[in-house]
Every structure is written in structure tokens, then in C-alpha cells.
Structure 1
């Protein structure tokens, strides 16, 4: 599951909206709203939540991806399974 969710809020990131997948110069990935809030709270001493490399709000980059892929078959199966679970949960939520 590592790499599929924002490490700040533990929610999956999206391809649009406030929680759009984004990265810092160090390469770590976060939901846009989470990393912006993280860096604003630390104004002059902003650092990546994962590796502690110094960064600023202007360093956050929005990423554009159509889907998550993996180079090994086991990870790809896990990704497909998680995507199916997410779809199922979204359908259940719409019922309520």
C-alpha cells in the first residue's frame, strides 16, 4: 500500500481537486492540500515530512498521471485489487 496514499493523511490522492497528487523536489509524493498545509504551518522551516529535505511552498509540483502502474507483477495485482476495493466502496457510499 506504500506509494498509493498520501503519507500525511493516509488517504488516496486524486487526479483532480484539492488532494491532487503532487511531489516535492526530493521526489516524495503527497496530496496537494496536505503538503501545502504542512509547509504553511512550518513557514520558514519547511521540510519534506519523509526525508526532512528543506523545501518551500513554491517547490510543490502537481503531477498528472492517468493510472498507477508497477514494474513487478505482484505489485500490479495488488494495485488492481485495491482499485477494485475502492470502486466497490464508492458504489456503497453512493447508495447511502
Structure 2
């Protein structure tokens, strides 16, 4: 029986030895896990600090962007108002220019009416016949019969007083110069 007790003691000693080895191994693993946990915690703290810093910078950047957007909206409003003001001015100028153009057209029509009449008799020229359009050497225009009868009495152009003769009379062929029929 003593042998059995010795065997049991040896078994218990071996079990104790195995348990101590397992305990030592578990302590080492536990130490490693504690170190890993401490590392993870320190990394977590760093990440939290970085996140908070990033959040603060993001908030600051967002505030800066909002200020910039506000300034841009103000500038846009000013530009929009300025454009509207210039458009109004341009519209007024357009109206003024249209009135001026109408006046110039009326003046031009009146002047053209004067330009299609004989400066001697003040009657419009004919396309053919005795009062058809003719020119003197100086370039002035008259009705044929009017200038011939005038040159019978005088040898100068009635407009510019340049010397001229009846053989210098030239017929003018141009539809735009003659009055509308």
C-alpha cells in the first residue's frame, strides 16, 4: 500500500509540476495579453486624441467655409445688383439711341427728298423726258431743261459757281438717285 501511496504522491507531484508549468505558461501569456491590451489602449487613446483634433479642425474648417460662403453670397448679390443696374442703363441708352436713330432717319429721308429735287425749280427729277437727271462737270445735279435754260443766261454752276458749258452736261443713269415712281 505504501507503494500505492508513493505512486499517488508521484502522480500528484507530476500533476503539481504540470500545473506549475501550465501556471507559468499562463502567467507568461497573461503578461503578453496585458502588454497587448496596454498597447491597444495607448493606440486607442492616440486615435481618440487624433479624432478629437480632426473633429475640431473639421469644425474650424466648416466655420471658415461658412464665412467664405457668406462673403461669396454677399459678393454675388453686389455683382447681381451691379449687373441689373448696368442692364437698366443699357436699356435707357438703347431707348435714347433708338429715338436718335428715328430722328436721323427722318432727317435723312428729308435730306434725300431734297437731294432728289432740282435745286433750280425744286421739283423731283424725271426718269426720262425734258426734266430727267443730269450732271455738270463739277458733279452737281439738276433737271435737264432747268440747267440748259440756266446756262443760256449764265456760264457758271448755280450751286458752286464753277465755270461750265452746255456741252459738259452728262445724263445720269441710276435708279436710287431718282424719286420713287
Q: TM-score, normalised by structure 1?
A: 0.65
In structure 2, the partner of 1:62 is: 171
Task: Determine if the alignment matches structure 1 residue 23 to structure 2 residue 127.
Answer: no
Aligned-pair distance for 1:67? 2.8
Unaligned 5+ residue runs, structure 2? 1-112
Q: Name the one with the larger helix percent.
A: 2
The answer to whether the Cα contact below 8 Å between 1:22 and 1:63 also exists between their aligned partners in 2 is yes
Q: Which has the larger radius of gyration?
A: 2
Structure with more relative contact order (C-alpha pairs < 8 Å, separation 6 or more): 1
In structure 2, the partner of 1:10 is: 122
Unaligned 5+ residue runs, structure 1? 70-78, 88-96
Aligned-pair distance for 1:14? 1.1
Q: TM-score, normalised by structure 2?
A: 0.36
Superposed CA RMSD: 1.8
Q: Structure 1 runs of 4+ off > 6 angstroms?
A: none
